[in-house]
């Protein structure tokens, strides 16, 4: 006779597993604890999920797919002229998975060590780094090398991902989330790119230290 799986029990297990993974992460989460939180026996829990990994996968896989695709985009310099307040679909496209799934996103971004999903941040950083290098830096360095080397781009990409992740996790209300996403993009990414372009075009209203001045000052300090 086929086993009957009940939707209300499945929902209880899902909520209990989210609580467990959120508190302890995948590695330290306990099937016994999840069963206790769901108000069922461990044996009954295994009727619904064969192991801890399959349960974790069911929670974060859809979010992982959405977040991975969110950073697979081609940057266009016209982005600098876009008023994000008038183009909120950009934010919705990048982070549509967050609505109603903040706990799942937190688990994915911060509590997935020990699973195939723990690379979500490195994947996002690599994709953003690639986009910045192939579009923004290529444009800024078109006539002269304004941005030297690749380390700066890596730092910028990492700071963007970490900052966005913090907003995704900590902004409890959708209004606060959207407000801070807009501020972060406007005041970090867009302002950084505009500054690089202004330096390239000689339009900065302050004197930029030359590479020689920086190097000489650094070397002089090293001697003391």
Closest CA to 97 of 120, 119, 81: 120
- 3 and 111 in a single domain? The answer is no
Q: Do 13 and 105 share a domain, yes or no?
A: no
| Judgement on whether residues 17 and 115 belong to the same structural domain of the protein | no
Do 98 and 149 lie in one domain? The reply is yes
**Structural domain span for residue 74:** 59-222
pLDDT grade for 25, boundaries at 50, 70 and 90 = very high
Cα separation, 221 vs 223, in Å, equals 5
Calculate mean pLDDT across residues 199-216.
68
Predicted confidence (pLDDT) per residue in 46-70, tens digit: 999 999 999 999 999 988 887 766 5
The stretches of the chain forming alpha helices (DSSP H) are 7-28, 31-38, 42-48, 52-70, 88-95, 102-110, 120-131, 138-140, 151-170, 174-184, 191-200, 211-222
67 and 85 together in one domain: yes
- Number of Cβ within 10 Å of residue 144's Cβ equals 8
CB–CB of 157/128 below 8 Å? Answer: yes
189 pLDDT above the threshold of 80: yes
In this predicted model, what pLDDT tens digit does every residue of 114-160 receive, in sequence order? 999 998 888 888 888 988 888 888 888 888 888 888 999 999 999 98
Q: How many domains does the chain have?
A: 2
Residue 1 has pLDDT above 50, yes or no: no
User: 78 and 21 in one domain?
Assistant: no
Do 202 and 97 belong together in one domain?
yes
Residue 26's CATH number: 1.10.10.60
pTM above 0.85, yes or no: no
């Amino acid at each position: 006779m086929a086993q009957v799986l009940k939707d209300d029990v499945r929902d209880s297990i899902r909520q209990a597993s989210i609580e467990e993974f959120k508190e302890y992460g995948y590695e330290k989460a306990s099937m016994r604890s999840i069963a206790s939180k769901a108000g069922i026996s461990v044996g009954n829990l295994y009727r619904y999920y064969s192991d801890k990994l399959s349960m974790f996968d069911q929670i974060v896989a859809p979010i992982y797919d959405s977040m991975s695709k969110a950073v697979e985009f081609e940057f266009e310099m016209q982005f600098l002229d876009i008023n994000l307040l008038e183009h909120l679909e950009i934010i919705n496209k990048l982070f549509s998975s967050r609505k109603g799934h903040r706990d799942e996103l937190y688990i994915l971004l911060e509590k997935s060590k020990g699973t195939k999903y723990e690379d979500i941040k490195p994947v996002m950083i690599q994709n953003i780094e690639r986009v910045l290098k192939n579009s923004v830096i290529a444009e800024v360095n078109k006539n002269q090398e304004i941005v030297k080397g690749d380390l700066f781009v890596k730092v910028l990409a990492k700071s963007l991902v970490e900052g966005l992740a913090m907003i995704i996790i900590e902004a409890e209300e959708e209004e606060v989330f959207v407000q801070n996403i807009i501020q972060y993009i406007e005041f970090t990414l867009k302002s950084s790119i505009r500054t690089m372009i202004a330096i390239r075009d000689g339009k900065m209203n302050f004197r930029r230290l030359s590479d020689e001045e920086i190097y000489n000052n650094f070397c002089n300090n090293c001697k003391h």
